[in-house]
Structure 1
Amino acid sequence: MSNRTDYLSISEFAELSGIKRKTLIYYDQIHLLKPRKVSEKGYRYYHYHQLYAVNMIIFFKDIGMSLEEIKEYSQLTSADQMITLIQIQKEKIRQKQLYYNRMEKMMDLQIQSLRETANFDDSSIFLTYYEEVPLFFGDTLYQGVNSRVSVALRELYHQCLKAGYEFPYPSGMAMHLDRTYTSEGAVAQYYMKVPESSTVRPKGNYLECYAQGHGEYQTGYEKLIEYAERKNLSITGTLYIDFIQNELVAQNFDDFIMKMMIQVEEKKQG
């Protein structure tokens, strides 16, 4: 065989390319990557230049192209056609990057929420300053807390999907209070903490406390109201309840750990 040094046996080519020998045989059978020469005894030989072709196959597979698509594009001979192919695949990569970036942000929010369970103390009240927090609110309003959490959250998830939030972000419930600041006259609205939203929990000082079990929000809320009165603080009309230990780890809603927050400011004198 002439120029023997320019060629590699199938075993040598497999070692250099990282492609298994049986996979190279399969690529030959489907006419995706054929050996440059085949001896009279049927031995396959590949040219060094075909290592580039193998790298392109690996690349196209990594970005999700099927072998049939790769085979079709490998037969292109026009530079313009190849540019079009690469641009299409580049856009697919960009979309995947955006998807994984959004997924990473969701994971960060879940980690942040779950880490707060380490601060769980249902006997203390804290005054904390927070920056704005983006929230996605569900459309449904519930009178008081007359709603099944499982039904309300399922409905919220569906609305999130329609709005483009495709991941299970940390959830919570806002209690929009009337002038009496009692739960009987409150309107409940479920929300998710998301990376970006046109609606936010406003920045400011918040009284906060913790409670465990969905039914315990009333006790926590009364503690916040009583504390605000003692400290001469005025409150806003919304109580935010973050489910910091949520359905990812809680067996049922009675196991939820809730972080309850209501914005306050010092009462004006006179």
Structure 2
Amino acid sequence: MKDEKNVMLTISEMSQIHDISRQTLIYYDKINLFRPAFVDENGYRYYSSMQIPLLKEICFLKSIGVKLEDIKETTTGESTDDTMKLLDDQQNKIDEQIGLMQIQKKQIQERVSIYKSASEYSQEFNKPTIEYFPERHAIWIPWTEGVYTRTELHNALLKIWNFTSTFGYLPSRRWGAVLFAEHLESENPLHVAGGCTFVPNDMTITENTLIFPEGKYVCMSKYGMPYEFSHVKKLVRWIYENGYKITGNIYDECIMDAIFYGNDREVDFCQLQIPIAPV
């Protein structure tokens, strides 16, 4: 009597049932993950209907991102404990990926916000305004002393991103430069100036951490590189002439790199931010 519970299926039939390609089944056979019940003298592969649950399990595990080598190790065993551990491990990996994607989504939203606000900043071009900022933390890497070029800016930024990645943080779009208030009146106001980028305030404090305090800042949008000091001089003069004093370091945020607005200008569109208090 024919065993109706055990029907033999061709490779095409097996692939159609599981919505996978024939090439996938051939590859699974090659790596000894899922082999046909038998191969005839002409090399045609045939599968037993009793193998369907196993292939469904393999397809499921692959669909949730489990690596084939891990699937092979688990499906060749007889313990459900191994499968449970595999699923727990994969769930933890997915949770990590979700967290990473949430950070990426936030950074996308920040970048879109920055680009939208660029037009608003441009309307206030070269006009000092007073804005409030919460406390912000940043990582700073100084430029090579005396080397003030676009290449040096980018080198410092790459070093910062490499540094923050060791703490598990993705590169931030909020980046720019810092000039130290204590050197503004010196012969070299760019002494130890360098690139910086904002990081979460709960990131571990290091010797490269700068804290921009909560409070009021005089801000001015401008076209120019952060090592071009004329814009800083203009804004510092406005501060003194309007009855304020400088209370901290200067942040020069890159709102939009020159690559985003064609050949009209060869410098970045930035916003200077200087913390102030009444005299």
Q: Same fold per TM (> 0.5)?
A: yes
TM (normalized to structure 2)?
Answer: 0.74
- Alpha-carbon distance, 1:36 to partner: 5.7
Contact preservation (8 Å) 1:106, 1:194: no
Report the equivalent of 1:212. Answer: 223
> Post-superposition shift, 1:257?
0.9
RMSD: 3.7
Match of 1:50 among 52, 58, 64: 52
| Structure 2 partner of 1:137 | 140
Which residue of 2 is the match for residue 221 of structure 1?
Answer: 232
Whole-Å Cα distance in 1 between the matches of residues 85 and 14 of structure 2?
30
Please, which of 250, 254, 257 is the counterpart of residue 266 of structure 2?
Answer: 254
1:9-158 alignment runs, 5 A limit: 10-35=11-36, 44-47=46-49, 50-51=52-53, 53-60=55-62, 62-63=64-65, 65=67, 67-119=68-120, 120-121=122-123, 122-138=125-141, 140=142, 146-158=147-159
Give the match for residue 192 of structure 1.
Answer: 197
TM-score by length of structure 1 reads 0.76
Equivalent residue for 1:178? Answer: 182
CA shift digits 1:104-151 (9 cap, x unpaired): 34434433433332222423222111222331112x3666x7533422
Alpha carbons of structure 1 residues 51 and 13: separation in structure 2 relative to 1, 3 Å: farther
Q: Secondary structure at the match of 1:33?
A: coil
Which stretches in structure 1 are left out of the alignment for 5+ residues? none
Is 1:231 the counterpart of 2:242 in the alignment?
yes
Q: Secondary structure, in 3 states, of the residue corresponding to 2:194?
A: strand
Paired residues in the alignment total: 264
The farther-off stretch of 186-195 and 176-185 is 176-185
Report the Cα offset of residue 55 of structure 1.
4.5
* 1:39 Cα deviation after fit: 8.7
Indicate the larger mover: 170-179 or 97-106: 97-106
Distance in 2 between the 1:239 and 1:38 partners?
75
Sequence identity (%)? 19
Give 3-state SS (helix, strand or coil) of 1:237's partner: coil
CA contact (8 A) 1:136 1:160 kept: no
Structure 1 residues 38 and 221: alpha-carbon distance in aligned structure 2, compared to 1, 3 A threshold: same
